[in-house]
């Protein structure tokens, strides 16, 4: 499959479009704000713990006090803005401009087109995540004890969750030629899987509550945020991603058939 030409084309579009740099700037600005606020709160808690004998017995560390909340905030940003904006144009713009028909008539398989676009968006997302490594490195430079194993696990969780989010965004973008509709659809699908955990909490120990808990995106990220690597959570995100990509492929093939 000719994935590489599609990948290069999409990467070039990412880094020559204003949208990509706006996403990058907003993400880093918001993450910097979150980090500063979480750091200030942790510093105040450390001072209070030092002044109180009772609180001084508490186990305060930067991984639990700063990095874990930071990972949770990254997950929220992915849902609310980053993934819908990052994926909304991938197929919708091609459909609007009419280039999707030309692309699908090239001697490349639909799977190669899909995989090239997906890997390009995943590479851009990986760059965003890599830039946030500045925060644990700053803590380490300041002499704080950083549990690098837990940090690595947290980033693995963010990468798996982001991979699933991107696949959903590709699927939504393949359904419409309107980028705004694609972004809203992506947000709606992800939000639905996000709030399923709330229904699980309300269900108590009922069987359907366990089903909702298993389907919830956030439930499977919690272990990664705590530095715990669970195989079942990896399988969930991998299956979620594969299903979304499969549906996208069917959408592309249906359009080729109509053409």
pLDDT tens digits, one per residue of 56-113? 444 567 888 888 888 888 888 877 678 888 898 888 887 776 666 556 555 557 788 8
CA nearest to 70, candidates 62, 80, 82: 62
pTM value is 0.88
In this prediction, residue 57 carries a pLDDT of: 43
CA distances from 156 to 90, 92, 163 (A): 25, 29, 10
**Contact, 89 vs 173, CB < 8 A?**
yes
**Contact, 176 vs 185, CB < 8 A?**
yes
Structural domain count of the chain: 1
pLDDT tens for each residue of 182-236? 999 999 999 888 888 777 666 666 767 677 778 888 888 888 888 888 899 999 9
Distance CA(225)–CA(70), nearest Å, equals 9
Give the helix ranges, DSSP H, for 52-178.
53-56, 62, 68-77, 83-87, 92-97, 99-105, 110-131, 134-141, 148-174
CA nearest to 168, candidates 188, 143, 150: 188
Range of the domain at 35: 3-258
């Amino acid at each position: 499959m000719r994935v590489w030409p599609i990948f290069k084309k999409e990467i070039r579009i990412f880094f020559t479009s204003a949208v990509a740099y706006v996403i990058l700037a907003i993400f880093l600005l918001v993450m910097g704000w979150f980090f500063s606020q979480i750091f200030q709160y942790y510093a105040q808690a450390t001072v209070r713990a030092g002044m109180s004998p009772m609180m001084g017995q508490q186990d305060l560390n930067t991984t639990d006090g700063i990095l874990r909340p930071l990972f949770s905030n990254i997950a929220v940003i992915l849902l609310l803005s980053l993934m819908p904006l990052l994926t909304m144009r991938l197929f919708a713009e091609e459909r609007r401009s009419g280039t999707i028909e030309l692309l699908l008539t090239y001697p490349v398989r639909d799977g190669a087109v899909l995989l090239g676009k997906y890997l390009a968006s995943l590479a851009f997302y990986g760059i965003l995540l890599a830039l946030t490594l500045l925060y644990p490195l700053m803590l380490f430079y300041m002499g704080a004890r950083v549990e690098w194993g837990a940090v690595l696990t947290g980033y693995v969780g963010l990468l798996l969750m982001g991979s699933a989010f991107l696949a959903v965004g590709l699927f939504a973008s393949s359904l419409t030629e309107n980028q705004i509709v694609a972004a809203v659809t992506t947000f709606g699908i992800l939000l639905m899987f996000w709030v399923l955990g709330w229904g699980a909490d309300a269900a108590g120990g009922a069987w359907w509550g366990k089903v909702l808990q298993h389907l919830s995106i956030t439930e499977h990220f919690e272990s990664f945020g705590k530095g715990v690597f669970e195989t079942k959570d990896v399988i969930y995100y991998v299956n979620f991603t594969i299903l979304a990509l499969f549906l996208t492929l069917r959408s592309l093939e249906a359009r080729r058939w109509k053409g």
